[in-house]
Amino acid sequence: MRMKTQNWKLCLGAALVLTLCATSLAQLTKLDEDSRLGTTEAHVGGRTGHAAAAKTNYRRFCVGCHGDLGDGEGENAPFLDPKPRNFTLGIFKCRSTPTGTLPTDEDLFNTIGRGLITSGMPQWLPLTAQERVDLVAYVKHFSPRFATEKPGAPIQVPPEPQLTPERLKNGQAVFARVQCWKCHGVTGRGNGPSASTLQDDLGAPIKPYNFHDENRFKCGTSDTDLYKIFMTGLDGTPMPSWSDNIKPDEAWDLVFYLRSLQPANSKERAMAHQLGLKPVSSTAQ
């Protein structure tokens, strides 16, 4: 009986120690976050944003999806597909910086204003520029990466060349060679043979982009935005950076070809029709 009593006391003592350790860790984490909240800044276009200044706006506009802790576990999260971004990881899709690196403050600023198509992230253009810069700082304060790492250097985007039939054909060849069709489908509808198997970095199912039905992209609307997606990748998703596999000229050719898969109002689509370009299925198998 004494042995059982001693074991019970040991178990109780161990449980208390673990509880105290967990409480202390939570307190240290909260202190660390509070410290970052008071010191984290953002700089965009001559404006300086302060994380503390965005606390009210974050609770008003962002907490329902991204959560109090910025972990993507807000009360709306269970109903959203794709899930809200977990800011604590410091991993972002839309960047001008190389894969694996932090985005610039301007990248985050643009995402807040532009929103993310085919997701629950809307445009927040009604916010003033200063409010958006403050929110950038607030987003940054959730991840310790911003306290220890600098953003990557933005990639260099060469001037957009003139669209020609040869470039459009070359773009189709690149689409087939790097097997974009496996995810995005031979006609760009996001229905390739691998589409149903794709998952994001947290193991949630994720759909490839449907070029055929959309006029804009996940990270913007311009040809330059699409070029950046190829060369930086969408971190946290199966979409890799192709900077080591395709040359800058080839990336521009791919931009033109993907434009030709979009709705019929594009000059690229009209040129593809004139050239009689067929889907890449015959060359991709």
CATH of the domain at 74: 1.10.760.10
Domain co-membership, 191 together with 117: no
Q: Is residue 19 part of a domain?
A: no
How deeply is 203 buried, as exposed, middle or buried, from its count of CB atoms within 10 A (0-12, 13-18, 19+)?
Answer: exposed
Tally of domains within the chain: 2
Residues 114 and 176 placed together within one structural domain of the fold = no
Residue for token digits 């445009």? Answer: 123
- Examine residue 258 and state whether it is found in any structural domain, yes or no: yes
Q: What φ, ψ does residue 93 adopt, rounded to 5°?
A: -75, -55
Last residue of a domain, one of 118, 148, 178: 148
Q: Is residue 172 part of a domain?
A: yes
Domain finish residue from 114, 148, 182: 148
Question: Domain containing 120: what range?
Answer: 36-148
**Interval 93-150: pLDDT, tens:** 999 999 999 999 999 999 999 999 888 999 998 899 999 999 999 999 999 999 999 9
Residue 284: phi, psi to the nearest 5? Answer: -90, -15
Assigned domain for 159 exists: no
- 130 is a domain residue: yes
| Complete DSSP assignment for 1-17 | -HHHHHHHHHHHHHHHH
Is the domain of 133 the same as that of 54?
yes
Residues 142 and 227 placed together within one structural domain of the fold: no
pLDDT at 21 over 50: no
Cα 110 from Cα 224, distance rounded (Å) = 14
Same domain, 171 and 277: yes
- H-run or E-run covering 135: helix 129-141
What rounded mean pLDDT belongs to the chain?
88
144 plus 254 within the same structural domain: no
Is residue 122 domain-resident?
A: yes
Q: Are residues 268 and 171 in the same domain?
A: yes
Do 61 and 138 belong together in one domain? yes
Query: Would you say 231 and 243 are in contact if contact means Cβ atoms under 8 Å apart?
Result: yes
pLDDT band of residue 32 (cuts 50, 70, 90) is low
Query: Do the domain assignments include residue 10?
Result: no
First to last CA, the chain: 74
Higher pLDDT, 104 or 17: 104
User: Residue 183 in 3-state DSSP?
Assistant: helix
80 and 141 fall within a common domain? yes
Same domain, 195 and 246: yes
Whole-angstrom Cα distance, residue 205 to residue 208? 10
Residues 228 and 267 in one domain: yes
- Of the three residues 82, 113, 148, the one that is the final residue of a domain is 148
Q: Do the domain assignments include residue 25?
A: no
Co-location of 135 and 172 in the same domain? no
The model's pLDDT over 223-273, given as tens digits with 9 standing for 90+, comes to: 999 999 999 999 999 999 999 999 999 999 999 999 999 876 678 888 988
